[in-house]
Amino acid sequence: MNFWSKLQSIDVRIIYITVFVTLAIPLLIPLGIPLTVADNSVNMYTLIEDLQPGDRVLMSLDYTALVAPEVHAGTVAICRHLFEKGVGVAMFGYIPEGPMFGDMAINQLADEYDLVYGKDVVNLGFIPGSESGVRAFGDNILESAPRCFRNQVTKDMPIMQGVRNAADFKMLIGIGDGLQVMVQQIHTVHGTPICGVSTAAGTTGLWPYVNSGQIKAMLSGLRGCAEYEMLVNKPSTAVAKMDGQSLGHLVIILFIAAGNIGHFVTKKNKSEAKQ
Amino acid sequence: MTLWRRDIPLLITFLTGIIYVLNNVGTISIGSTTLGELVQDLNVWVLIVAAFAMGVASVNLLRLHGEKVQRRREGWGYSLVLIATMLGYMLIGALGTTYQIPFFADLTNLVYTNVQSPLGATMWAMVGFFICSSAYRAFRARNVEGTIMLVAGILVMLGNAPIGESIWGGFPVLSKWLLDIPNTAGQRAIMIGAAIGAFTTALRTVTGIDRRYMGTIE
């Protein structure tokens, strides 16, 4: 097997080691590759910036520990923006683990923004029943979540006063895999504007909703979260991971290029040998 | 027997389906209530049934793995770990979250943050390695379709990573165009196809043609 043939079948262990080293280096020694902010992130920022103190938003946290490293930074960055503006946040999730991340964000930011649970923020917890559950929740929030994640009665909370259904919230911010369900079961029924954060892999499937305006703005994956951290002037974990993502993409492209060069040269050599 | 096992479930399914369809037609009153209110009640029932389903699933899991441990079947040790983890985390979760006992609340978060989160993140991170390996093998310009996929993939990758923009400012523009035009067109076609498929399935279920949900294929 000559060099060009070998380029087409590089040992998988070499690929894995190269990827690992490439991702590890920028985490240990940040490279500071410049990060620009895309229009989508600016749109998202503007939507939240336009909210007034005292407004309320719903935040649907629909992700597990698997994708949390990609989107949880977005939850924290958006919460920072909302709390800074004095906007009330009611969290829930139709994936059991989601509300747990909500509580983590609340605990992380509670002291920084002097949050009063039940007044500034509430975690309504897990809503079972998948899409049907979300529909029921949107139609009658207090009946679907009579007690919150911390086992307190929700109807007595200041943040929940006057709430009947999803239309009583200025916006719904979906984080993770639930944006499509939120469009279908909340926006279509109650007209609540939707925006949020999707995983990079989920972006392509949700993009038609962004183009149609059913999703007002959407941050895409880790990069979107990093851009939002820049917008709220709190660069954190997402920004720190961007160098790794850049180099990771570059390594994948280099391997693809190597495979294709090997493929073409071998093909050319074979056709020349035939002649 | 068929009355209870077939006819009544079919009637319930038919009536429920019709109620939901009619609710979308307009405001219809039934005595002192409206169809909309009835639908809202039915939606809350869904929440209750779904919550019970989770309980049933937990009991089923315990029975299945409990039997495996009891009979010392192959891999019973793993089942024991599963049962202990499930019951243990359920207990500390209930004490910490539901009853707000600070020690257990901290323990719940500690276990989740230091066990479940890193394990989940590891599983997802491994996908990155597999993607790199499979992209290297699959993205070959062997034919026109393969070349289109290869070029589109590389453009989107460079458009999304900050380094792509540092190399050439046009990468994000091209990436956005691919997302906006060809991707949206393709995704919409898939969505509409899936929606028509879902509607057909719903219609077959409501009218009793498709009875597989009852556990029988007739």
Q: Are residues A95 and A65 in the same domain?
A: yes
Residue B146 lies inside a defined structural domain of this protein: yes
Record: contact A68-B119, CB cut-off 8 A = no
Neighboring chain B residues of A16 at a CB cutoff of 8 Å: 129, 132-133
CB contact set of B73 (below 8 Å; sequence gap of 6+): none
Domain count, chain B: 1
B216: pLDDT strictly greater than 70:
no
Neighboring chain B residues of A135 at a CB cutoff of 8 Å: 43, 46
Report for A43-47, B38-42, B131-135: range of highest mean pLDDT? A43-47
- Of the candidates B140, B160, B183, the beta carbon closest to that of A263 is on B140
What is the model's pLDDT at position B117? Answer: 84
Q: Are residues A258 and A197 in the same domain?
A: no
Residue A261 lies inside a defined structural domain of this protein: yes
| Residue A256 dihedral angles phi and psi, to the nearest 5° | -60, -45
- Per-residue pLDDT tens over the stretch A48-71: 999 999 999 999 999 998 899 899
Neighboring chain A residues of B140 at a CB cutoff of 8 Å: 259-260, 263
String of b and e for A129-162 (b: at least 16 CB within 10 Å)?
beebbbbbbbbbbebbbeebbbeeebeebebbee
The string of DSSP codes covering A225-244 is HHHHHHHTT---HHHHHHHH
Residue listed under structure tokens 């920028």: A26
CB contact set of B146 (below 8 Å; sequence gap of 6+): B139, B140
**A105 lies in which domain range?**
39-240
Q: ipTM value, please give it.
A: 0.81
B28: pLDDT strictly greater than 90:
no
Q: Are residues A139 and A263 in the same domain?
A: no
Residue B9 lies inside a defined structural domain of this protein: no
- Of the candidates A69, A259, A264, the beta carbon closest to that of B121 is on A69
- Assigned token pair, A184: 């279908």
Neighboring chain A residues of B121 at a CB cutoff of 8 Å: 65-66, 68-69
Record: contact B141-A144, CB cut-off 8 A = no
Summarize the confidence of residues A28-38 as an average pLDDT: 87
Write down the H helix ranges in B24-75.
Answer: 35-70
Record: contact A68-B120, CB cut-off 8 A = yes
Residue B218 lies inside a defined structural domain of this protein: no
Residue A190 lies inside a defined structural domain of this protein: yes
Neighboring chain A residues of B46 at a CB cutoff of 8 Å: 129, 132-133, 135-136
Q: Are residues A95 and A153 in the same domain?
A: yes
Neighboring chain A residues of B153 at a CB cutoff of 8 Å: 256
B132 min Cα distance to partner chain A (Å): 5
Write down the H helix ranges in B112-143.
Answer: 117-138
Cα dist from B100 to A186, B95, B103, B179, whole Å = 31, 6, 9, 46
Q: Which helix (H) or strand (E) is A214 found in, with range?
A: none
Summarize the confidence of residues A81-97 as an average pLDDT: 95
A82: pLDDT strictly greater than 90:
yes
Report for A219-228, B118-127, B162-171: range of highest mean pLDDT? A219-228
Confidence of residue A157 (pLDDT cuts 50, 70, 90): very high
Neighboring chain A residues of B193 at a CB cutoff of 8 Å: none
| Residue A67 dihedral angles phi and psi, to the nearest 5° | -105, 0
Q: Are residues A173 and A262 in the same domain?
A: no
- At position A157, the amino acid (one-letter code) is M
Q: Are residues A115 and A165 in the same domain?
A: yes
What is the model's pLDDT at position A221? Answer: 92
Q: Are residues A202 and A218 in the same domain?
A: yes
Which sign, positive or negative, has the C-alpha torsion A191, A193, A198, A204? positive
Record: contact B179-A204, CB cut-off 8 A = yes
A215: pLDDT strictly greater than 90:
yes
Residue A141 lies inside a defined structural domain of this protein: yes
Record: contact A144-B117, CB cut-off 8 A = no
Summarize the confidence of residues B2-14 as an average pLDDT: 89
Of A76, A176, A62, A190, whose CA–CA distance to A136 is shortest? A190
What is the model's pLDDT at position B44? Answer: 85
A275: pLDDT strictly greater than 80:
no
**B148 lies in which domain range?**
139-208
Residue listed under structure tokens 């985490």: A27
Neighboring chain B residues of A243 at a CB cutoff of 8 Å: 162
Record: contact B50-A132, CB cut-off 8 A = yes
Residue B117 lies inside a defined structural domain of this protein: no
Residue listed under structure tokens 């983890």: B85
Q: Which residue of B has its CA nearest to A21?
A: B129
Confidence of residue A75 (pLDDT cuts 50, 70, 90): very high
Residue B191 lies inside a defined structural domain of this protein: yes
A102: pLDDT strictly greater than 80:
yes
Residue A125 lies inside a defined structural domain of this protein: yes
Residue B91 lies inside a defined structural domain of this protein: no
Q: Are residues A249 and A174 in the same domain?
A: no
For a pLDDT cut of 90, what percent of chain B falls above it? 44
Domain count, chain A: 2
Summarize the confidence of residues A2-9 as an average pLDDT: 85
Q: Which residue of B has its CA nearest to A247?
A: B163
What is the model's pLDDT at position B128? Answer: 85
Q: Is A273 exposed, middle or buried (0-12, 13-18, 19+ CB in 10 A)?
A: exposed
Cα–Cα dist A90/A102, whole Å: 10
A189: pLDDT strictly greater than 70:
yes
Interface residue of A101, A142, A256 to substitute, partner B, most B CBs within 10 Å: A256
B78: pLDDT strictly greater than 90:
yes
Cα–Cα dist A101/A92, whole Å: 10
Cα–Cα dist B216/B218, whole Å: 6
Residue B125 lies inside a defined structural domain of this protein: no
Summarize the confidence of residues A151-163 as an average pLDDT: 94
Q: Are residues A20 and A61 in the same domain?
A: no
A-B CB pairs within 8 A amount to: 165
Q: Are residues A199 and A259 in the same domain?
A: no
Record: contact B43-A135, CB cut-off 8 A = yes
Residue A80 lies inside a defined structural domain of this protein: yes
For a pLDDT cut of 70, what percent of chain A falls above it? 100
A208 min Cα distance to partner chain B (Å): 5
- Assigned token pair, A236: 């954190």
- Per-residue pLDDT tens over the stretch B93-132: 889 877 888 899 889 888 888 888 888 888 888 888 998 8
Summarize the confidence of residues B67-80 as an average pLDDT: 94
Neighboring chain B residues of A221 at a CB cutoff of 8 Å: 160
Residue B179 lies inside a defined structural domain of this protein: yes
- At position B42, the amino acid (one-letter code) is L
C-alpha dihedral (A209, A210, A213, A216), degrees to nearest 10: 120
B217: pLDDT strictly greater than 70:
no
- Of the candidates A136, A151, A264, the beta carbon closest to that of B47 is on A136
Cα–Cα dist A224/A219, whole Å: 4
Q: Are residues A170 and A203 in the same domain?
A: yes
C-alpha dihedral (A260, A262, A265, A269), degrees to nearest 10: -140
Q: Are residues A236 and A250 in the same domain?
A: no
Q: Which residue of B has its CA nearest to A257?
A: B136
